[in-house]
Amino acid sequence: QSVLTQPPSVSAAPGQKVTISCSGSSSNIGNNYVSWYQQLPGTAPKLLIYDNNKRPSGIPDRFSGSKSGTSATLGITGLQTGDEADYYCGTWDSSLSALVFGGGTKLTVL
Amino acid sequence: QVQLQESGPGLVKPSQTLSLTCTVSGGSISSGDYYWSWIRQPPGKGLEWIGYIYYSGSTYYNPSLKSRVTISVDTSKNQFSLKLSSVTAADTAVYYCATTPDYRFDYWGQGTLVTVSS
């Protein structure tokens, strides 16, 4: 059972928008930066968002991140079939003294 | 751009020690820009951070694995390594190495599957 809680799956049609939530506590999301990762089938995870809402070079602005209190959200607009992947949130947990991840959310673009 | 490549045995017997190496190219481990992490992912499951090392040799391990983990660095070879002792089937996973600035993972290796089986 993961420290950070994500929905197991989300789905939306091409061109639409989807959000993925990541819920934690004051020992993790509430007091630390959140990052998001995209894992396409059979590949290594890739950094999408860091410091809650910043995009690394090369990540399109269709991807966005936000944080409020002890929850974070990844937003993806203009969905493409190539966005079908598993998405993970991550942060530092001060109580566990460890970097932690959410359980992952599988995005299906119908 | 930093590139990472994991290497090591793909099959380890139960109770033995798993040993992997991550070779870094496109940047120097000694630059001080990153901590260097190991992360694993059991088949069909989520990600678990194992620990990281700085070029100076200082380490930080996930408390859940700390008693069995050793991460070391060889700056002359631009490599860092993972040893996980007393492995069981539960340690079967894809093992990734990654760069870690400020509690995130910027660059990842492609991963290597390690199966624990007799």
**Closest Cβ opposite residue A44 in set B62, B100, B111:** B111
Give yes or no for A57 touching B (CB within 8 A). no
Give the pLDDT confidence of A23-75 residue by residue, as tens digits.
Answer: 999 999 999 999 999 999 999 999 999 999 999 999 999 999 999 999 999 99
User: Between chains, do A44 and B46 touch, taking CB under 8 Å as contact?
Assistant: no
* Rg over CA atoms, chain A: 13
Q: Does A88 touch chain B (CB under 8 A)?
A: yes
How far, in Å, CA of A75 to CA of B33, rounded? 29
pLDDT in tens, A76-102: 999 999 999 999 999 999 999 999 999
Q: Which two tokens stand for residue B93?
A: 């996973």
- B105:A97 CB<8 A: no
Measured CA distances, B54 to A35, B25, B85 (Å):
21, 16, 21
Reference A87, options A26, A41, A56; nearest CA is A41
